[in-house]
């Protein structure tokens, strides 16, 4: 089983420590592409219109300025770097050592800057969204898609992929549909279903935690994932097609 997560917009910078060790990152074959994105990001972030070019507000000026020195910034493991609703619900700090080892084996983060990261990979805090276009790189989802398709093929082979990414990050890599289950979250009130992004992020984080902490074998098929999820939620499985992944719909009562 692999759990695919998006990064969080909010990140917790490391206070001290060594800079990123490129050769220690998962999928080192991506390093030349990572370097290209990082260089383009540094140039854009040094521009006088950097905030507008990156689509962020003035409150994030310090984050954007940090983008200009990422080669030297202290690095932190992904499970500490990323914060926010989904990662708070996953609650890495309260996992047992055995559960943390499972997370290291099972969790991949799809990143606008780094392409794909293992949960223990150490990188500096940065500010960049997958929806951004950079000079000489273009739209990042389009840039990363062929690279991730090649780099992740071996890692995904034979695995059930539990896709908790948002649509923006899902655009950067389309895993094999037959072995992929996208996770959707709905609230239901008076027979009507609606999507609420905050609850979706929180519930996807809770699902990731449930899969990392539950006893027994990890689910290996969509049907086994359905049964595992039914341990905590009202849920339904929509079968996929040759081109479309299965869908796991978690239903919250509104």
Helix axes 140-151, 31-45, angle to 10 degrees: 160
Task: Answer yes or no: is pLDDT of 254 > 80.
Answer: no
Averaged pLDDT score across all residues of the chain: 95
Question: Mean pLDDT, to the nearest integer, of 47-76?
Answer: 93
What local confidence, expressed as pLDDT, does residue 71 receive?
95
Q: How confident is the model at residue 226 (pLDDT cuts 50, 70, 90)?
A: very high
What local confidence, expressed as pLDDT, does residue 194 receive?
87
Phi, psi of 131 (to 5 degrees): -80, 0
Please choose, from the candidates 68, 96, 101, 73, the residue with its C-alpha nearest in 3D space to the C-alpha of residue 17. 73
Question: Mean pLDDT, to the nearest integer, of 76-99?
Answer: 97
Q: pTM, whole model, 2 decimals?
A: 0.95
pLDDT in tens, 172-216: 999 999 999 999 999 988 888 888 777 899 999 999 999 999 999
The structure tokens listed for 99 are 């559960």
């Amino acid at each position: 089983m692999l759990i695919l997560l998006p990064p969080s917009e909010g990140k917790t910078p490391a206070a001290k420590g060594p800079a990123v060790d490129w050769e220690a990152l998962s999928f080192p074959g991506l390093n030349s592409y990572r370097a290209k994105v990082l260089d383009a990001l540094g140039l854009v972030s040094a521009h006088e219109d950097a905030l507008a070019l990156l689509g962020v507000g003035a409150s994030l000026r310090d984050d954007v300025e940090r983008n200009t020195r990422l080669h030297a910034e202290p690095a932190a493991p992904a499970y500490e770097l990323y914060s926010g609703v989904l990662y708070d619900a996953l609650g890495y700090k309260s996992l047992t050592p055995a559960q943390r080892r499972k997370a290291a084996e099972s969790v991949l983060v799809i990143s606008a800057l780094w392409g794909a990261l293992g949960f223990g990979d150490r990188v500096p805090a940065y500010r960049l969204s997958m929806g951004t276009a950079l000079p000489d790189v273009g739209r990042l989802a389009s840039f990363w898609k062929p690279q991730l398709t090649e780099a992740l093929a071996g890692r995904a082979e034979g695995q059930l992929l539990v896709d908790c990414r948002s649509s923006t990050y899902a655009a950067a890599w389309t895993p094999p549909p037959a072995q992929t289950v996208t996770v959707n979250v709905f609230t239901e009130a008076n027979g009507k279903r609606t999507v609420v992004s905050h609850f979706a992020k929180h519930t996807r984080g809770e699902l990731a935690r449930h899969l990392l902490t539950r006893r027994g074998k990890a689910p290996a098929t969509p049907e086994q994932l359905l049964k595992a999820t039914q341990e905590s939620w009202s849920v339904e499985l929509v079968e996929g097609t040759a081109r479309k992944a299965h869908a796991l719909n978690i239903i919250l009562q509104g």
